[in-house]
């Protein structure tokens, strides 16, 4: 008896008791449905968090200068400039795990266009900044090294600023804007980046060369870099290595004794992203284990109904044996029946899970991500449940004595 035929016999037996079969598979359907829906929403939330951190930049370290302490009041990180331009140069040159580093000095300034004005955060930085933040230029060009060297009066606008000053879908490249009293030429517009995880609009910003920032906005260059340094590590694995290296380099350069406190601090954003993702993972694991329990219960339901089916069809088993069915034929027949039930339940569950996840996502504006491997694993697991719980009834059927089975009323 070939497998296809056994499968057809099994399907027919299931179809004869369709109501019963459906109710039996309900456990599996709900279990798989729950797994799919929960995993889809969990993965969606995780992807959203990851996207939010990726928007900030990948493998990103931010170095903040130290705090001032005056009259017992600590000013918080960044209140006292302790980082120098030489520190930046040393980080760029001496640490192999650093791919790029850029200064970022910020100030809120009014930008005046031809018809309107807009107050935004103006950042003085270097060309590496856009690379570190994964931030391509949509129109025109980015800042260049020569802009930084010579302190040219050029500006790259964020999308929001470009819209506020020039209107939507305009091309401001080549136009002149004023920041404070200084005219700047717009050389580029950065691509839309969206909101940060905390709702801050990344696109509400403008970027000028850091040297120009020092001269025109800060009012003269100083030895200190009164802002932050953005660092991109060469890979996510090397981020912590880069962090340790920068720490020891800066401590060395700032002549901090071994027991002294750092006069700077370094934020490791990939670590924060990891912690966030881990929280989502824990939640997903919890929900998945609840779903696994319901799959188990579904499996017991299948075993129960298969035992009923074997008892009901004892005579049929007897006839098949008298006619020449081997124990293995009978075993496979019932095993495939249990397997078909559980796989059908699994497939229905996938459909329902995807449906529920889509509905929830649409209804509550939750992110959702359907992962093909979760679907494969769920269906495979329900098949596994079918085999495990179908084996006992199938074995029982195959071990029946043909004479007893034929006499069974």
Q: Which residues bind another protein (CB under 8 A)?
A: 1-2, 5, 16, 315-316, 318-329, 402-403, 406
Nearer to another protein, 225 or 336 (CB): 336
Cα Rg of the chain (Å, integer): 33
Nearer to another protein, 14 or 206 (CB): 14
How many Cβ atoms sit within 10 Å of the Cβ of residue 8? 12
Q: How far apart are CA 283 and CA 398, in angstroms?
A: 44
How many Cβ atoms sit within 10 Å of the Cβ of residue 118? 19
Nearer to another protein, 307 or 406 (CB): 406
Nearer to another protein, 20 or 362 (CB): 20
Token readout for 261 is: 């406190």
Minimum Å gap between C-beta 333 and another protein is 11
Minimum Å gap between C-beta 385 and another protein is 29
Token readout for 385 is: 């449940």
Q: Coil, helix or strand for 200?
A: coil
Nearer to another protein, 73 or 403 (CB): 403
Minimum Å gap between C-beta 340 and another protein is 18
76, exposed or middle or buried, with CB in 10 Å at 0-12, 13-18, 19+? exposed
Nearer to another protein, 23 or 322 (CB): 322
Minimum Å gap between C-beta 399 and another protein is 9
Token readout for 331 is: 């075993």
Minimum Å gap between C-beta 20 and another protein is 15
Minimum Å gap between C-beta 386 and another protein is 23
Q: Coil, helix or strand for 100?
A: strand
Q: CA 141 → CA 66, 130, 174, 186, distances in Å? A: 34, 11, 11, 9
Q: How far apart are CA 116 and CA 236, in angstroms?
A: 43
Nearer to another protein, 8 or 252 (CB): 8
Provide the strand spans (E) within 2-151. 60-65, 67-70, 73-77, 98-112, 117-125, 137-140
Provide the strand spans (E) within 113-179. 117-125, 137-140, 154-157, 176-179
Q: How far apart are CA 365 and CA 142, in angstroms?
A: 35
Nearer to another protein, 351 or 402 (CB): 402
DSSP 218: S
Minimum Å gap between C-beta 321 and another protein is 7
Q: How far apart are CA 249 and CA 252, in angstroms?
A: 5
Minimum Å gap between C-beta 398 and another protein is 9
Nearer to another protein, 2 or 181 (CB): 2
Minimum Å gap between C-beta 401 and another protein is 8
Q: CA 272 → CA 56, 140, 241, 279, distances in Å? A: 12, 34, 16, 11
What is the helix (H) or strand (E) element at residue 184, kind and residue range? strand 182-190
Nearer to another protein, 4 or 70 (CB): 4
314-323 and 269-312 helices, crossing angle to 10°: 80
Minimum Å gap between C-beta 394 and another protein is 15
How many Cβ atoms sit within 10 Å of the Cβ of residue 324? 8
């Amino acid at each position: 008896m070939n497998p296809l035929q056994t499968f057809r016999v099994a399907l027919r037996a299931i179809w004869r008791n369709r109501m019963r079969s459906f109710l039996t598979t309900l456990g599996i359907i709900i279990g798989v449905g729950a797994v799919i829906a929960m995993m889809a929403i969990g993965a969606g939330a995780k992807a959203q968090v990851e996207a939010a951190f990726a928007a900030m930049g990948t493998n990103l370290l931010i170095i903040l200068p130290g705090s001032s302490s005056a009259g017992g009041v600590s000013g918080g990180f960044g209140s006292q400039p302790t980082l120098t331009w030489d520190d930046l140069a040393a980080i760029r040159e001496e640490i192999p795990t650093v791919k790029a580093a850029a200064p970022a000095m910020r100030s809120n300034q009014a930008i005046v266009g031809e018809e309107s004005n807009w107050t935004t955060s103006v950042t003085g930085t270097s060309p590496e900044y856009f690379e570190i933040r994964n931030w391509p230029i949509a129109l025109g060009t980015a800042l260049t090294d020569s802009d930084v060297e010579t302190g040219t009066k050029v500006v790259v606008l964020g999308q929001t600023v470009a819209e506020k000053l020039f209107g939507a879908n305009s091309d401001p490249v080549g136009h002149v804007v004023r920041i404070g009293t200084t005219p700047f030429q717009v050389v580029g517009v950065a691509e839309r980046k969206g909101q940060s995880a905390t709702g801050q609009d990344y696109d509400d910003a403008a970027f000028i060369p850091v040297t120009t920032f020092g001269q025109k906005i800060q009012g003269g260059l100083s030895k200190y870099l009164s802002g932050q340094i953005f660092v991109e590590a060469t890979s996510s694995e090397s981020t912590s290595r880069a962090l340790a290296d920068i720490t020891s380099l800066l401590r060395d350069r700032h002549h901090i004794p071994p027991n002294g406190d750092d006069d700077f601090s370094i934020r490791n954003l990939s670590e924060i992203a990891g912690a966030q993702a881990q929280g989502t993972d824990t939640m997903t694991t919890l929900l998945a284990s609840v779903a696994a329990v319901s799959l188990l219960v579904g499996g017991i339901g299948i075993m129960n109904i298969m035992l009923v089916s074997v008892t009901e069809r004892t005579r049929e088993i007897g006839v098949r044996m008298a006619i020449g069915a081997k124990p293995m034929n009978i075993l496979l027949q019932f095993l495939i029946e249990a397997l078909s039930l559980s796989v059908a339940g699994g497939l229905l569950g996938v459909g329902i899970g995807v449906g529920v996840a889509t509905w929830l996502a649409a209804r509550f504006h939750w992110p959702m991500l359907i992962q093909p491997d979760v679907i494969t694993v769920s269906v495979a697991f329900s098949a596994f449940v079918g085999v495990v719980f179908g084996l006992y009834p199938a074995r029982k059927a195959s071990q029946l004595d043909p004479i007893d089975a034929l006499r069974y009323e």
